[in-house]
Chain A
Amino acid sequence: MTRRLLDNRNLSILVILGLFVIMFGYGSFAYTGFFAVQNFLNLFIDNAYLLILAVGMTFVILSGGIDLSVGSMLGLGTMIASSLVTKQHLNPMLVIVIVVLVGTALGFFMGCLITLFELPPFIITLAGYYLARGLCYVVSIDTIAISDPVFQSAAHSEIHIIGNSFVSPSAIIAVVVVLVGAYVLRFTRFGRTVYAIGGNEQSALLMGLPVGRTKIGIYALSGFCSGLAGVVFTFYTLSGYALDGKGMELDAIAAVVIGGTLLTGGSGSILGTVLGVLVYGTIQVLIVFQGTLNSWWTRIAIGFLVFVFCALQRLFETRKEATAVRGASRTSAAVAGGG
């Protein structure tokens, strides 16, 4: 039982959960007003877009790929949404659908290049990064404000859940994305194929799994998430700005890595990613409460956490390899002895 609980996957979840509890606990002791249900809910409210991006990124990284375009795609999403709503006066619901479709289409396009021509995801999504950011400026160089009532109400409404504590519509969207993502990953054929590709693409192919289709689907899904995150981001800023989401791809990757997903693919979970985002958010809140450190310390802390978690991953891997080698040599010795 204890061994079951402490197998690698659960262990990394436990470590990250422990880290989150320690950090939140430290904040509660050190700063008055830190420990509150609302403060916990704020983590979801303030990081909803990051949560959505990170869910898409989890699929990509699980399959052994990477998507560097998500930050720019989020920016493109805010630009398209704001310009269609403010300048073209389109129905806001229709606009949201368009933004999400554009994101999905761009992701699909990159997925096709990566899969059909066996191009490295790193380079193709890097070009996607340029492309989406450039398209932002094609839409407009200036900030476009949104005064549409639907967006306004999405930005300001508070949905009360426990007593006086509330969540925002964007937090609810994020939680829905998380739940759907977790379900798809765990209980559908698509999700299991993602794990198989990340574990070993060649084997997945030989097993007869639809590797190509799934890979294209993964990048389309990540594009979908970036588009949706763009919409959610406009709920915060009520505007579109061409630099929105700058550097956010790395925040998303960092959250996924801290959440225990192996960068080589094949192992990880949405739950870990959610915890990763919560840790990220808690660091930010801690630095705000601390007061004297400037907000750039967040980046240093995130960089440090990524380092620690990657190093730990490597440690586990090398230990597993070592035991595998030892096990193999023991078996071959036994076989030789038996012969």
Chain B
Amino acid sequence: MPALKRMSLGRLVWPLAALGCLLLFNLFFTPNFFHVEVKQGHLYGNLIDIIKNAAPIMLLAIGLTLVIATKGIDISVGSVVAISAGVVAILLGGDLGGVPLFPVPVAIAAALIACTAAGFWNGILVSRIGLQPIIATLILFVAGRGIAMVLTNAMVIWLYVKPFAIFGQGYWLGLPFSIYMVAGLLLLTWFVTRRTAIGMFVESVGINPTAARFSGINAKNILLGVYVFSGFCAGLSGLVVCSTVMSADGNNAGNLYELDAILAVVLGGTSLNGGKFYLLGSMIGALIIQTLTTTIYAFNVAPEISQVVKAFVVYGVSLLQSERFRRSVSGMFVKGRATA
């Protein structure tokens, strides 16, 4: 048991170390980075901002962690975020006085149902029709943004419904409300996957679907389930995104989020080859990405250039995950010792 504990902690060491390095760098080179103050009963500061801005990616990453654990991928989540925002926007309406067309809970429920349905569609394609996950979700990746644009009639809909602002801008007990959403979803997912056998089923499908099927696991339904869940998570993420800017922009809402979320999961130690997954690792991965972005902002570099840095992070991480690369590097060391 202690060995097991050490192993799971060991997996988290690398992402934690990366996050630590970034924070340490900021401690020395970015003035006031760690400054947190209380304004009107809320906490303000860079650190709070990082967590707040990372929330949409964290929500996506929770769903994607399970998908990737089954050796799948869901590249449609960014478009599903746009659908979620679009559905909320048309149901609340752009009334300047802040009078919603439908009650806020109805709009939220409708958005979540729409996104869960999107996830269900992905899941059916993967588990029943047997398409490769990247292709199955490519369909909604392409069409999803089109659906969002058609819903909003290709216009940006601004929202003035005050209560809806809580998801992206609200505070509770001094902290941004979205943090509680992330924490809640994380706890729930952790409980369902780690306190029941479902987590093990998910991992076994990722490691060897045939073996999983032979040992009596309904691999098809597990696959269907993770995509449905991923769609649901994207729906929640869409609520936060839409509420943060109080508008639904089908073109830009959730744009490129799928890449950030996948990167977060991979940084967190979950392998793209499926199998073991690390929910907490994915959260740290999302924080790493956001800290990186915030750091780059702090240096007055155009935020778009951060993509170059991200690219090299991805290259580095995937090289570290490559069996070949590790072997050739360790081979170099062994050879060096032999000649010495």
A300 contacts B150, CB within 8 Å?
yes
- B304 surroundings in chain A (CB, below 8 A): 133-134, 136-137, 141, 242
Of B40-48, B87-95, B134-142, the one contacting chain A is: B134-142
Q: Does B259 contact A (CB under 8 A)?
A: yes
B259 contacts A299, CB within 8 Å?
no
| A-contact 0/1 string along B187-208, CB 8 Å cutoff | 0000000000000000000000
Q: Closest A-chain residue to B316, C-beta based?
A: A127
A113 contacts B134, CB within 8 Å?
no
> B170 to nearest A CB, angstroms?
32
Chief secondary structure at chain A's binding surface = helix
Which of B142, B250, B309 interacts with A303 by CB under 8 Å?
B142
Of B124-132, B177-185, B232-240, the one contacting chain A is: B124-132
Q: Given A129-B259, A303-B140, A296 and B311 touching (CB < 8 A)?
A: no
Which of B135, B308, B314 interacts with A138 by CB under 8 Å?
B308
Q: Does A177 contact B (CB under 8 A)?
A: no
Q: Given A122-B73, A311-B129, A314-B131, A134 and B146 touching (CB < 8 A)?
A: no
Q: Closest B-chain residue to A110, C-beta based?
A: B315
B272 contacts A123, CB within 8 Å?
yes
Q: Does A131 contact B (CB under 8 A)?
A: yes
Of A7-15, A28-36, A250-258, the one contacting chain B is: A250-258
Q: Given A134-B310, A314-B131, A303 and B305 touching (CB < 8 A)?
A: no
B139 contacts A307, CB within 8 Å?
yes
B319 contacts A119, CB within 8 Å?
yes
B146 contacts A131, CB within 8 Å?
no
| B-contact 0/1 string along A290-320, CB 8 Å cutoff | 0000111111101110110011001000100
B146 contacts A303, CB within 8 Å?
yes
Q: How large is the interface on A (under 10, 10 to 19, 20 to 34, 35 or more residues)?
A: 35 or more
- B250 surroundings in chain A (CB, below 8 A): 296
Which of B73, B142, B266 interacts with A306 by CB under 8 Å?
B142
State A253–B134 Cα separation when bound (angstroms): 11
| A-contact 0/1 string along B130-159, CB 8 Å cutoff | 111011101111111111011001100000
A66 contacts B134, CB within 8 Å?
yes
Chain A, range 202-250, C-beta contacts under 8 Å to B:
242, 250
A303 contacts B310, CB within 8 Å?
no
- A137 surroundings in chain B (CB, below 8 A): 302, 304-305, 307
B143 contacts A304, CB within 8 Å?
yes
- B147 surroundings in chain A (CB, below 8 A): 300
B259 contacts A130, CB within 8 Å?
yes
| A-contact 0/1 string along B281-311, CB 8 Å cutoff | 0000000000000000000001011111111
B318 contacts A118, CB within 8 Å?
no
Which of B130, B150, B311 interacts with A134 by CB under 8 Å?
B311
> B82 to nearest A CB, angstroms?
11
Q: Closest A-chain residue to B146, C-beta based?
A: A299
| A-contact 0/1 string along B50-77, CB 8 Å cutoff | 0000000000000000000000010000
- B309 surroundings in chain A (CB, below 8 A): 134
Q: Does A187 contact B (CB under 8 A)?
A: no
B149 contacts A296, CB within 8 Å?
yes
Chief secondary structure at chain B's binding surface = helix
Q: Does A25 contact B (CB under 8 A)?
A: no
Q: Does B324 contact A (CB under 8 A)?
A: yes
Q: Does A18 contact B (CB under 8 A)?
A: no
State A123–B310 Cα separation when bound (angstroms): 12
Which of A66, A117, A120, A307 interacts with B325 by CB under 8 Å?
A117
Max chain A CB contacts within 10 Å: which of B135, B153, B319, B324?
A: B135
Which of A66, A124, A131, A311 interacts with B307 by CB under 8 Å?
A131
> B124 to nearest A CB, angstroms?
11
> B292 to nearest A CB, angstroms?
12
B138 contacts A253, CB within 8 Å?
yes
B146 contacts A298, CB within 8 Å?
yes
- A253 surroundings in chain B (CB, below 8 A): 138
Q: Does A62 contact B (CB under 8 A)?
A: no
Q: Closest A-chain residue to B131, C-beta based?
A: A310
State A138–B302 Cα separation when bound (angstroms): 9
Q: Given A134-B310, A137-B302, A296-B146, A122 and B134 touching (CB < 8 A)?
A: yes
B73 contacts A294, CB within 8 Å?
no
Q: Given A66-B134, A122-B134, A117 and B322 touching (CB < 8 A)?
A: yes
- B266 surroundings in chain A (CB, below 8 A): 123
B325 contacts A126, CB within 8 Å?
no
State A137–B303 Cα separation when bound (angstroms): 9
- A263 surroundings in chain B (CB, below 8 A): 132, 135
- B302 surroundings in chain A (CB, below 8 A): 137, 141
State A135–B307 Cα separation when bound (angstroms): 8
A123 contacts B314, CB within 8 Å?
yes
A123 contacts B324, CB within 8 Å?
no
Q: Does A128 contact B (CB under 8 A)?
A: yes
- A298 surroundings in chain B (CB, below 8 A): 146
- A254 surroundings in chain B (CB, below 8 A): 138, 142
Q: Does A331 contact B (CB under 8 A)?
A: no
B318 contacts A130, CB within 8 Å?
no
| B-contact 0/1 string along A245-288, CB 8 Å cutoff | 00000100110010000011000000000000000000000000
B141 contacts A130, CB within 8 Å?
no
B143 contacts A128, CB within 8 Å?
no
Could you write out 16 A-B pairs with CB less than 8 Å apart? A113-B318, A116-B324, A119-B319, A122-B272, A127-B315, A129-B259, A130-B259, A130-B314, A134-B304, A141-B302, A254-B142, A296-B250, A298-B146, A306-B138, A307-B139, A310-B131
Q: Give 17 A-B pairs besides A130-B308, A137-B302, A254-B142 with Cβ atoms closer than 8 angstroms.
A: A118-B323, A127-B318, A130-B311, A133-B307, A134-B304, A134-B305, A141-B304, A257-B135, A264-B132, A294-B150, A294-B154, A303-B139, A310-B135, A310-B139, A311-B131, A314-B130, A314-B131
| Contacts from B to A (Cβ < 8 Å) | 73, 125, 129-132, 134-136, 138-147, 149-150, 153-154, 250, 259, 262, 266, 272, 302, 304-312, 314-315, 318-319, 322-325
8 smallest CB-CB distances across A and B, nearest first, come from: A303-B143, A299-B146, A134-B307, A134-B308, A131-B311, A127-B314, A296-B149, A137-B304
